[in-house]
Chains A and B, each alone.
Chain A
């Protein structure tokens, strides 16, 4: 490593700020392809998260302002909002955000102490508790033909929209469609001719994934995140899905399709890279990322839920203490076994 070693010390606010900036291309593409409903979801999650954060800080006797402006609550809120269906009812968003901030973050000891990624805990609670509401994904505009305006989206989220209207604009996600098709004994090729599947992922969804990828690369270029977790995560997804696809292409989706379902890109670059709940050693990060990618495909293929990114990351969060224990890098002058190199 070349000298000098002096670098700027990034504050939590700066790091979190860059994460938010890196999410902007994804959000822009989201609005472009799926309509402006996501903006309401984002706003509501942000307000709920900040209110919950302030209340919990006050209850725990911490100064409110310095912790509130570190933006970590906003990052959690945005990540959760981007994982939720864009036309999810308002109480779903509020419940998930409250669970993420109050239980997963503060009851575990606050920023830096939480064992599990708060946004993913919020998501897991919602998908386990409210599977029906968690399917209200707006279909891509290219397929539904029309989009809800901001006012209509608000009506959908706050429950003022007649049921039929909502059904017209929501669609099964590509992963859902593939899953249902396979359960009905169709082969992958038969399912993949449906219009919801695009060039290399789902129609619309694939470009959302590309936008998340771009944001992730921006964070990597700014040294906000290391390369280990995202690369290992993507490799885990690609190799596992590739192996299965190679084994039986009729029963298992193509690796590119799995890679460009947006949840993988969001998970690999924004969620699994969480410095608190992820592994801290360089080799540990490789194991952590690869394990999460592998589990994602395993859960998508054999699990009970359409997507597995959230559960995969939570499961790997549990393994972090073990991984860190066995991947401690040797200190300078010592070998990996801990013995002195000089006899």
Chain B
């Protein structure tokens, strides 16, 4: 079984210490392309998390039966099958959102985070650990997508949660928050350069925070000879 400490460690790793978006810098292509609004970012993040949890569990389950030499093709097949399920499900139940996210749903197959966790973690650990690790990593990615989406949406069009009607129907339109009324719009934030700039700033903020924390611990522990 799994201890509480292990769960906590896995989550701390996935959300902060080994965050895929800000620390490992994996899977940046969908991260940059889809983070133009909160809803887009959140949807892709959750879809990826779902795929990761299922694929890590499946990979971990078959890890003792797969020959080492052909493990990557086998993992990719498992992931592709799961992505197809997600793809068809989203097409059926949240069709408008599916149209917005477009090619990036099928492309979760090739997202290196999914394969990286399958190969680096799930192939060496027990299923329960693997699923929790995948969920933690996926939520870490979702967190970054959410922050990036919020920054770009507010800077770009002055709203939050625009496009929520794509998920919950036209009535949900009233949940759209107009943060800056009468905003002229700042096209750059919505365009691809805005994604690079915002991600760069987030990574810088994260590194700065880490450097400061290190400095504090160094200051707190007196150096002994």
Contacts and interface: CB of A to CB of B under 8 A. Distances in A.
B197 A129 contact: no
A115 to B, nearest CB: 13
Chain B facing A: main interface SS: helix
Interface in B179-225: 184-188, 191, 193, 197, 204
A128 interface: yes
A130 B185 CA distance: 8
A130 B184 contact: yes
B190 to A, nearest CB: 9
B191 A128 contact: yes
From A103, A128, A129, A130, residue with most partner B Cβ within 10 Å: A129
A161 interface: no
Interface residues of B, number: 9
Contact of A125 (B184, B188, B204): B188
A151 to B, nearest CB: 25
Classify chain A's interface size: under 10
Nearest to B156: A129
B188 A128 contact: yes
Contact of B187 (A103, A107, A128): A128
A130 B187 contact: yes
A69 B101 CA distance: 50
Nearest to A133: B184
Contacts of A128: 187-188, 191, 193
Contacts of B187: 128-130
A125 B189 CA distance: 10
A103 B155 CA distance: 16
Contacts of A130: 184, 187
A128 B156 CA distance: 12
A124 to B, nearest CB: 9
Contacts of B193: 128
Nearest to B200: A107
A107 B204 CA distance: 10
Nearest to A126: B188
A125 B185 CA distance: 13
Contacts of B197: 103
A130 B187 CA distance: 7
A128 B204 CA distance: 25
A130 B188 CA distance: 9
A132 to B, nearest CB: 9
A129 B183 CA distance: 13
Interface string A113-132: 00000000000010011100
A130 B184 CA distance: 9
Interface string B161-189: 00000000000000000000000111110
Report the 10 A-B pairs with minimum CB-CB distance, sorted nearest first. Answer: A129-B187, A129-B188, A129-B186, A128-B188, A125-B188, A128-B187, A128-B191, A103-B197, A130-B187, A130-B184
Interface of B: 184-188, 191, 193, 197, 204
Interface of A: 103, 107, 125, 128-130
Given A107-B204, A128-B193, 11 more contacts: A103-B197, A125-B188, A128-B187, A128-B188, A128-B191, A129-B185, A129-B186, A129-B187, A129-B188, A130-B184, A130-B187
7 contacts: A103-B197, A128-B187, A128-B188, A128-B191, A129-B185, A130-B184, A130-B187
